Amino acid sequence: MLNLILASLLWAFSFGLIKGRMGGLDPATVAAGRLLLAALAFSPFLFKHRLPKGNISRTMLLGALQFGLMYWFYIASFAYLPAWLVALFTVFTPLYVVLISDALDRRVRWRNLAAAVVAVAGALLVVAWGTPDGTAWKGILLLQGANLCFAVGQVLYSGLKKEVGVSDVILIGWMYWGAFLLTGMVVLLSSSFSLEAWDKPAGWALLYLGLLPTALGFYLWNRGAARVTAGWLAVANNLKIPLAVVVSWLVFREDADMLRGSLGLVVVVSSLFLAESPKKLPKEPSG
């Protein structure tokens, strides 16, 4: 669970940074840049250790879904929504995690579903009830596409990890390359690609986002996701929402309600007591 909490803290700073430094930039280019940096950061591990034969392509496809397509949708949503609303509308990810996990197992875990619902309720406390006038529903729909990609990816990753039996750093390194190939192809095929709008602050922001929230953040997240139950994973998905609002209020000086953010965080954390306990996994493979 510690890995999931650390990843959530890293991501809490991303919402305001993307909106403030990268608003108006081509979302596919931003996504491809972040993922290329993450892939390069993990590449030394890929030369030292190898995946079992036949698993590289499926791991890259999973990365293209969970990281590549998700990032493309996610960053595109900032063109239509303020940063705090982007954080808010990731609120449905834990429900997707629980429903997908239960569907794959062909069962309903009522405790996990209840925990996810409480986590959603806690995240909703972060902002004013309802959405403000003029909310762009295209942005909300893009976010739901991102949420689904991220939910499916993290659930499938747990099964891939068990089946392949190699360390997380190897799997996630190949996932980053798969994600970059997808977004890179989108950039090459896009007629809107241009570097003219990029300035030095945007470049530094991309470097930070690529190496910390992306490379380190997703490594910590998927590592943690493979070691907890679906219920705890669903709840952890919403930790970043109240954290993001608190960060926006303290660091980026956005108009956010500190009291509601703190209350939301308390409710989200309390939902952990409803979820099933974390599962015990065998010792981490050395490969």
| pLDDT tens column, 148-174 | 999 999 889 988 988 888 888 999 999
pLDDT at residue 123, rounded to an integer:
61
pLDDT at residue 245, rounded to an integer:
66
- At residue 80, φ and ψ (nearest 5 deg) are -120, -15
| pTM to 2 decimal places | 0.78
pLDDT at residue 128, rounded to an integer:
47
Does residue 280 surpass a pLDDT of 60?
no
Total tally of structural domains belonging to the chain: 1
Within-domain flag for 286? no
Using a 10 angstrom Cβ sphere, with 0-12 exposed, 13-18 middle and 19 or more buried, the burial of residue 11 is buried
pLDDT at residue 286, rounded to an integer:
32
Within-domain flag for 284? no
pLDDT at residue 249, rounded to an integer:
64
Within-domain flag for 287? no
CA distance 108 to 125: 27
Within-domain flag for 27? yes
Instruction: Write out the residue range of the structural domain in which residue 47 sits.
Output: 2-273
Within-domain flag for 279? no
Does residue 98 surpass a pLDDT of 70?
yes
Kindly write down the DSSP assignment for every residue of 46-93, as one continuous string: HHHS-PPTT-HHHHHHHHIIIIIIHHHHHHHHTTTS-HHHHHHTTTTH
Within-domain flag for 204? yes
Q: What's the mean per-residue pLDDT of the chain?
A: 79
Mean pLDDT of 186-210: 82
Within-domain flag for 232? yes
pLDDT at residue 256, rounded to an integer:
53
pLDDT tens-digit map of 35-62: 999 999 999 988 877 787 779 999 999 9
Does residue 282 surpass a pLDDT of 60?
no
* Residues 6 or more apart in contact with residue 254 via CB below 8 angstroms: 16, 82, 83, 84, 248
Within-domain flag for 280? no
